[in-house]
Structure 1
Amino acid sequence: LQSRSKLLHFTYFKSLIALTGLLLPLFDFSWQRISDPECIADVLRQVYADHSLNVDNVFHCILETTQHPAAAASFASIMFAPQAELSFSEALSRCDMNGVPICLMYGKEDPWVKPVWGLEVKKHVPEAPYYEISPAGHCPHDEVPEVVNYLLRGWIKSLESQGAAALPLLHDMQSENIQSSIAKDLEFVRQGSNKSVIVRFMGSSFSLWNRMESYFTSRFAKLETKWQ
């Protein structure tokens, strides 16, 4: 039995080494593609909804990071990291059980982490405020930091006051409206110019049907305006 166990271990490690040998060329090719400046620029064009935004600083920071001697190894450690002990759903459930404050903010135009994934998260933590910002992509904290800062500060203020201060967008709102969904225009000033985004708040009783109803209502309203 001991000899058989040693043989199995030897076979396992031999297979692992062989697999690593096959994966390394593929990884090297992937890393060269990912770290290519043109690829980085293309990714940034995808993840930012506002293409007029100057992202040169972000581009150069990413490019500088990819040129670090340990960059490829760090990327590999992320790609081949073992599975976490807790699943994402289990981690959220524990947060909810232990009363960990959570605030969800998503860019509506995010091409990767679609808002529908945020709504899935909200199912596990229904009392967590959910804000959907549009137009905003994968990095709303960088694309519209003024809006994210306003929402985050307001949420923290509401937490610290134990609910005495209303959450952002919910001032002068009836309790039944707070439980469903509302949308408001938020204006802010950037470099002397007035800008605005639409921020939608989704309450604890918000459902997929509410989302569909809201979507079709807005679409019909736009068509009606166009025909007038």
Structure 2
Amino acid sequence: MAKCKTPPTTPGEQIAQQILNNYDIKSAEDVQDVLKQIFGPIFESMLKGEMENHLGHKKHERSEDGDNVRNGYSSKTLKTSLGEVPIRVPRDRQSTFEPQIIKKHQRDVSSIEGKVLAMYARGMSQRDIAATIEDIYGFQMSHEQISTITGCVMEEVEAWRNRPLQSFYPFAFVDCIYVSLRTEYGVQQVAVYVMLAYDVNGCKDVLGLWINETESKHAWMQIFDEL
């Protein structure tokens, strides 16, 4: 005789069962789906910094010559190893802006997506992020231009890291991926810890990213304690 499953009794168990019934939870695939969604804002922040360098002034500031100004955005779809990512590319009135991080006819960014993802991770300082951005651009940008782009990226990163989380998530998944980053010791593979959760409505959210030299039980315990 088959053993009957015990029905959920507590409110939390009932919510969890409802999500399991209504949403197709696949863990690893879901992690990839959510991670690709956070690529866009970083790329847009870097393009914002490039435009600021190009025009010589921040948004809402008056230009010295007054001839060339921002002129909205155009849409573009990037290709990553995790799927397609839509972004907005800034435009200028005179159409003289030539993006470097994603050139006009470029769509494939899979070669740098690991570096971009790592910028979100706790453990990456502003100096680390600046070094990563400089590594991505190579010799295309001066130190002053890299500094401007880093400032735009840090605004996005800090806002994402410090955003308020919900008090309750019925499900959470953890994963660890490895990316190549340039450090003072050369190019190294580092571990990026990923924590994904479902809220009571079945919506997915990345609770956080953390960076470490390798994956370990001790590092995971520190992350759980932090949350």
TM-score (norm: length of structure 1): 0.21
Higher relative contact order (CA 8 A, sep 6+): 2
The higher radius of gyration belongs to 1
Structure number with the higher helix fraction is: 1
TM-score (norm: length of structure 2): 0.21
Structure number with the higher strand fraction is: 2
